[in-house]
Structures are given as structure tokens and as C-alpha cells.
Amino acid sequence: MMIERLREYVGTETPTGDAAALNAFADRLATRYADLGATVRREPQPTGDHLIADFPGRAAQPLLFLTHHDTVWPIGQLAGAMPWREADGIIHGPGVFDMKGGLVVLETALEQVAGRDHRPLRIVVVADEEIGSPTARALVTAEAEGAYAAFGFEPPHPNGDLKTSRWGSTRVRLEVTGREAHAALDPDRGVSAIDELVDQLIAVRQVVAGHEKVLCNVGTISGGGRTNVVPGTASADIGFRFVDPQTEEAVLAAVTELKPVRDAQLSVQVLSNRPAWEPSGATDELLAKVAAAGRSIGQEIGGAPASGAADTNLTGWLGIPTLDGLGPVGKGAHAVHEQVVAATLAERAALVAAIITAL
């Protein structure tokens, strides 16, 4: 049943920013959560609605479950380079690991705890997590208020361990405006926005080199148009990862203070930000409770820090006891070999059900 549901979910492609596809998938989740007893709300956004589902329970403080239904893959990926495939207990497909497998795990666990005593449960399904949740940050922060604990359904560590902290993640856009001119007849009147952008990216690398444990990835570059025209515009989107808030503050301050090296205009814009979620005693205590719940069903559960970022960064940063990685075991997030181990779908659902009833 879980594999069939996962195939259905993967078969509905939901790239970030495709509001029609995301909203159609949200309709499906909303109906399912309502059938299981939830009160469902939506927060409309131009790039796709976020979904909030509240299940009643016996205590005041709810458990918060953070998920997302967008993927990095465009429409057509399933019919092209990444067809659904099952072989030797491994399932392949776009979004199977990040994170439609996690959505199936959560839904199955909700079925398993139906009619049993547990805390109130609040599910937040985000539509733009893969680009840093720019429209969902305030929502996640608001819905986290008063939560007993927060759990994310992102993929776990390769050995199945949960994630007990995460690096901070910030997306920055550099935009350069130069001056167009004929590249052969009047090159001196032009100011190359691309040349300026290249120099600025070198400067960014120099900033990063001055700090330990900073990741920097130039994810996209655009600019120019014709080889016989000095390019008048250029831009780059950069993803930074920071181990702690102090490093993040220092690097971003230096990047936002960059100055043009030629007669061009430079704009530095922060597109999204998820602060570092640092290790804490509260999360260690939560992990101990989760490990005990795991042992009650014959599973050994561990935890370790992670370099990737997710919406659990926000709850961890707010001081709410937080764990992530409750999705199935697999590999290949954001890669064409994306896959999950089929047997771990049921194992993770049983673990989540045990956590819900134990806490």
C-alpha cells in the first residue's frame, strides 16, 4: 500500500513555483488529512499554497510535523531521465527521496495512530522549501509557537540516523548593470556586466576563504545576449551554508558591502534565509525519548548533525526541541539516481507512530 501511494505521489510532479501542480497535490493531501480527522487550512501564495492540518489530541502542546510537497525536478522528468523504477528493493524516481517518501511515511503513521491517545498534531506542508521557503518562513515560525517538539520528514543520514542540528542556509543574488556598446566598433564606451560579475564572484570566494566551515555554491549565472554586444546586465544566485550565526553574519556583511570595480552598478539581495540550528540539550533529550520509542518496536535510532538546511532550522533556532530525517533511508537527493530503500518506508512509519503515542 505504501509503495502504491508513493508511486502515485511521485507520478504527480510538483516543481517549485508551479502553482497549479502544487495546488492540485495540496488538494489531494488536504482531502486525505481531513478524512483522517484533521482540520485543514491553506495559506495561498502566488507560487503555490502552503497547507496546515491540525489533529486534535489530549494535551495542550502539539507535536509539529514539517514537510514540503515541492521538488527540484521539472515537469517531464518522470517521463525522461528519471522514470519510476523498482528493482532489488530499491525505488527510483523524481522526489521519491526528497521528500514524497517522507509524506507517505507521515500519512501512514497518521493512519496507524487513528483512535489512539496522543498529543495534538500539527502538520505544515510547505510549497517552496526547495528554494529556502521564502514565503513560508513566517508561517512555520507562527505555527511552531507553543509546540512541544518539532519533527522534519526530510531524508535521514545514510545509516538512518536522525538529524540533530543543521547548518544555516542563505540564498543571495548578485545583479550587475553595466553599459551596452558594440563590442568591435565602440568597445570602450561599454561596461561589461559579465566581467564585473566574474570579478565579484572572485571577491565572494575571497570572503569565504577567510572563514572556516562555510560552503558556497554559485548555482545560476545569467547575462548578456550576443557576442558582438558588450553585455549590459548579468546576475548570479549563490547558496551559502554556515555552521553558526556568527560566521553567517560576518560573511553576509562582507558580501553585501562589496563595491563595483568598474563603472557598473552592483546590487546584492538576500533571497531567503534559514538560520543555523545549533546542537542543544533540549534536542538531545528529545532524541533520547525518540530512541526509547524506537526500542519499543525493535528499532535502534541514533542522531548526528547535518550540513544541509531545511525548515527544521527555524524551529531549532527558536529553541524548540527538534529532530529531522524521519523520511525513508535512501540516497541521491537532487540527483538523477534519487532512490529509497522500500523496506524502510514501513519501518519509518512505525517509528513515527511510536513517537506520536510515546510523547
What does the pLDDT read at residue 236?
98
Q: 110 with 40, same domain?
A: yes
* 274, 304, 332 - which closes a domain: 274
* Domains in the chain, number: 2
Task: Indicate whether 267 and 192 sit together in one domain.
Answer: yes
Same-domain pairing of 40 and 8:
yes
* pLDDT score, position 213: 87
Same domain, 39 and 162: yes
From CA 300, how far away is CA 29, in angstroms rounded? 30
- Are 111 and 36 in contact by the 8 Å Cβ rule? The answer is yes
**Are residues 113 and 214 located together in one domain of the fold?**
no
Predicted pLDDT at 127: 98
Q: What CATH number corresponds to the domain at position 326?
A: 3.40.630.10
Helical segments of 86-192, H only: 101-113, 137-144
| C-alpha distances in Å from residue 131, one per residue of 51, 83, 137 | 17, 24, 11
Helix (H) / strand (E) element for 42: namely strand 39-43
Its sign, for the CA torsion 224, 226, 227, 228, is negative
Q: Are residues 253 and 292 in the same domain?
A: no
Domain boundary among 227, 245, 274: 274
The answer to whether residues 269 and 299 belong to one domain is no
pLDDT at 47: 95
Element (H, E) at 4: helix 2-11
CB 161 within 8 A of CB 301: yes
Give the end of a domain, one of 250, 274, 298: 274
pLDDT in tens, the chain (359 residues): 999 999 999 999 999 999 999 999 999 999 999 999 999 999 999 999 999 999 999 988 999 999 999 999 999 999 999 999 999 999 999 999 999 999 999 999 999 999 999 999 999 999 999 999 999 999 999 999 999 999 999 999 999 999 999 999 999 999 999 999 999 999 999 999 999 999 999 999 999 999 988 999 999 999 999 999 999 999 999 999 999 989 999 999 999 999 999 999 999 999 999 999 999 999 999 999 999 999 999 999 999 999 889 999 999 999 999 999 999 999 999 999 999 999 999 999 999 999 999 99
Asked if 52 contacts 30 with a C-beta cutoff of 8 angstroms, the reply is: no
The pLDDT assigned to 250 comes to 95
Tell me: do 18 and 100 sit in the same domain. yes
Can you spell out the DSSP letters for 253-319?
Answer: HHHHT---SSS-EEEEEEEEEE--B---HHHHHHHHHHHHHHHTTT----EEEESS--THHHHHHTT
* CATH number of the domain that residue 257 is part of: 3.30.70.360
Same domain, 84 and 194: no
**What pLDDT, on the 0 to 100 scale, is given for residue 85?**
97
Cell readout for 136 is 513560508
Domain boundaries, position 248 = 168-274
CA–CA dist 178, 323 (Å, integer)? 46
Query: Does residue 151 sit in the same domain as residue 45?
Result: yes
pLDDT at 94: 98
Residues 178 and 89 in one domain: no
Q: What share of the chain is helix, strand, coil (3-state, %, to 5)?
A: 35, 25, 40
* pTM recorded for the entire structure: 0.91
Residues 270, 160 share a domain: no
